[in-house]
Amino acid sequence: MRQPVYLDYNASAPLRPEAAEYMTSLMGPARNPSSIHSFGRSSKLIMETARGDLAELAGGDASGFMFTSGGTEANNTALLGFEQVITCIVEHDAVLAARPDAHKIGVGIDGGINLPELDSALQQAKNRGGEILVSVMLVNNETGRIQPIEKLLKICRSYDVAFHSDMVQALGKIPIKLDEWSRSGLTMASFSAHKIGGPPGVGALWVAPGRHVPQLLKGGGQERGRRSGTENIYGIAGFGAAAKSASSWQDYAKLWPKWRSEFVVKLQQACSDIVLTTKDAPCVSNTISLLLPAMPAQIAVISLDMDGFAISSGAACSSGKVQESHVIKSMGFGSLSSHVIRISFGWENTQDEISALADALIEIYKRHQEKQFTIEQ
């Protein structure tokens, strides 16, 4: 019997062996990086090494990174202290729920943010006064759609407003240039360890030089006074090890576009009504968002799971159940929003597995169509 195939990397990537081994090797001695004795100093060194490895992967100065409990905390922290927040309607719930008062910019049918609408919203916000933050994710977690960060930065800079980006799904998949983008106005960026093969429960917020961040958690003043609480040294070490390992992402990036393209072509040749939700828009090559007009996503996810393929529908980190996606609905798919599945692969997958998934999905989809036709007759 074939081993189950995991194809839900955007929900959480498998723990990289390098991260697991390094974390395990550190367990035993007391480790509080705030202590000034030798045990504390060695812990501090572990933490700063991880900070440096993350900075290397993200193209930013290491001193700008503050470690958090995950991407959600990083996003929540970034949104603090602003009188007005402008975001995008397809953002992760960690942004939308953190600032329900935010003005939400719409997207086109391919998931790209409406730039003229953002420009207009900024004009109105400037007239109202107060400090303004624009928060737009670099890569969408459900569709893989890449937003035009250079254009976003140019607009925000013209209005002299702060700009934050949730880069959780971008790290290890496309080039990230924090230092370069900060010179164009990037203020903050959020990251998460478990999306790149680190452990869950640890993330980071990168803050541009000279930018003050209000404390979400108050106490001992760790992380240079920006985030209180004893640091999760094992999680941080695993984050750093995963970041170091993920630096080889370009090796995979060369393969994934071909796998993605061949999968979509094979599927659409057999089932012409199946639609790639992002069409020809720029996307990370490990993510495939598919509309199955004749089959609810819940049936597809469960059926494929029974066949040994783990995929998802919607954002797995927002719910333990299959539900209608606000992202897909915002892209204009209406009542068919509950018919969209997400396939996201990674470094442990092979081309043969992606091809086998296409075969399984084609069989399941056609079988469901035939069943529906019989019922209607």
Catalytic: which of 88, 156, 283, 317?
A: 317
Name, in order, each residue with C-beta under 8 angstroms of 134's C-beta and a sequence gap of 6 or more. 85, 86, 87, 118, 122, 152, 156, 161, 162, 163, 164
Yes or no: say if 213 and 66 are a contact pair by the CB < 8 Å rule.
yes
Domains within the chain, CATH numbers bracketed: 5-13+250-376 (3.90.1150.10), 17-246 (3.40.640.10)
State the CB neighbour count (10 A cutoff) for residue 347: 20
Q: Is the pLDDT of residue 322 over 90?
A: no
State the CB neighbour count (10 A cutoff) for residue 34: 12
**Residue pLDDT, tens place only, 343-357:** 999 999 999 999 999
**Residue pLDDT, tens place only, 356-365:** 999 999 999 9
How far is Cα 113 from Cα 62, in angstroms, rounded to an integer? 30
Amino acid 48: pLDDT: 96
Please indicate whether residue 371 or residue 305 has the higher confidence score (pLDDT): 305
Interval 26-47 mean pLDDT: 90
Q: Is the pLDDT of residue 105 over 90?
A: yes
Q: Mean of the per-residue pLDDT values for the chain?
A: 93
Q: Is the pLDDT of residue 316 over 60?
A: no
- Residue 317 bears catalytic tag: yes
Burial label, 265 (beta-carbon count in 10 A; 0-12, 13-18, 19+):
exposed
